[in-house]
Amino acid sequence: MKKAVFIYIAAVLLTVCLIIVLTFFGTANITLLETYKILSMKIFGFYKSEAAGMGTKETIIWRVRFPRTLLAFVCGGALSVCGGVYQAVFKNPMADPFVLGVSSGAAFGATIGIVLRYPANFLGMNMISWLAFLGSLFAILIVYNIAKVGRQTHLTSLLLTGTALSQLLTAIISIAMMVSGDDMKRIYYWTLGSFNARGWSHIATVLPYCAVGIAIVAAHTRELDIIMLGDDAAVRMGVESEKIKRIMLVSTAFIMSACVSVSGIIGFVGLVAPHVVRLFTGPMHSRLLPAAFLAGGCLLSICDTIARSAIAAEIPVGIVTAIIGAPFFIYLLRTRRHEVL
């Protein structure tokens, strides 16, 4: 137990160091030491005399790079938790918010909000976020009910249903782009995923809802472990598996909507991160999900840094995650092809 706690503390410290290093990267000529001093001054009040005279550099680090990197970390961690939950609920290692069409459902709802320009806000989130929540919930319920045969969800049905629904919603989004006029560029970047021009206000929007959704998931990690054993075993152990699944699906849709509302569609993070950390933590979700959150957050932060720093023109981060995640998905399909046939 003490060893596990030490490992998690070390992982958190390494994550903090990584976020500082990623904040350093960019086109502006700012050194790593200057980045560290600016963040230390803003967070802890250190180096006030040195950092206070940095002017524009301070603005770039604190108002542009750091909140963007932090937002990418939160969204990546949240998507990875959702991926880990879907893999447990469907008892299928191929499950992922992007593969199952949940991201497309959220983007579909968000597109409706963009086109109709709903100005209203409720509980801190605008109508685009709430419509994204309804779209993601609609998508996951459709996929779950179609792919479910008796008490089992088959891999072939799961993948085909998610792919078909994703393509359908993408087609509708494309139609919306054609008729939206001025909103076409905004919707286009939404479908590719981007953290461009995101700042502290977006973190304030996303963080509370991700925290509540992840807290609900964390409270049911034991039930997720039991569900992985099969529905019959869950019944014998007094776990209402269908009720837990519904709670998990609604909670993850809530998390997904908050993330998609600020980042757009970002694929494969929820597939890659849980698989990698499972090699080290094992299948127990009380260990798996916290590690997946850190790994997914680091992965998406690195991808976003590559997206904004690799070339002069910014690349949508969804393209970078697809370049990494698509080969990984093909690898999983190949290694588990006996389940598809």
Tell me the pLDDT band of 341, cut-offs 50, 70 and 90: very low
Q: How far is CA 335 from the centre of its chain?
A: 25
* Least trusted range by pLDDT, from 183-197, 245-259, 290-304: 183-197
Query: Each residue of 155-189: pLDDT tens digit?
Result: 677 778 888 888 898 888 888 878 776 667 777 77
Structure tokens at 70: 């932090």
Structure tokens at 3: 């060893």
Give the CA count within 13 Å in the CB-facing half-sphere of 236.
Answer: 6
- Tell me what pLDDT residue 150 has: 63
Average pLDDT of the chain is 84
State the Cα–Cα distance between residues 97 and 211, nearest whole angstrom: 18
- Tell me what pLDDT residue 145 has: 81
More confident residue, 285 or 149: 285
Query: Each residue of 204-241: pLDDT tens digit?
Result: 888 988 999 999 999 999 999 998 887 778 888 888 88
User: pTM score, two decimals?
Assistant: 0.88
- Tell me what pLDDT residue 340 has: 46
State the Cα–Cα distance between residues 166 and 204, nearest whole angstrom: 29
State the Cα–Cα distance between residues 150 and 241, nearest whole angstrom: 13
Query: Each residue of 292-319: pLDDT tens digit?
Result: 999 999 999 999 999 988 777 788 898 8
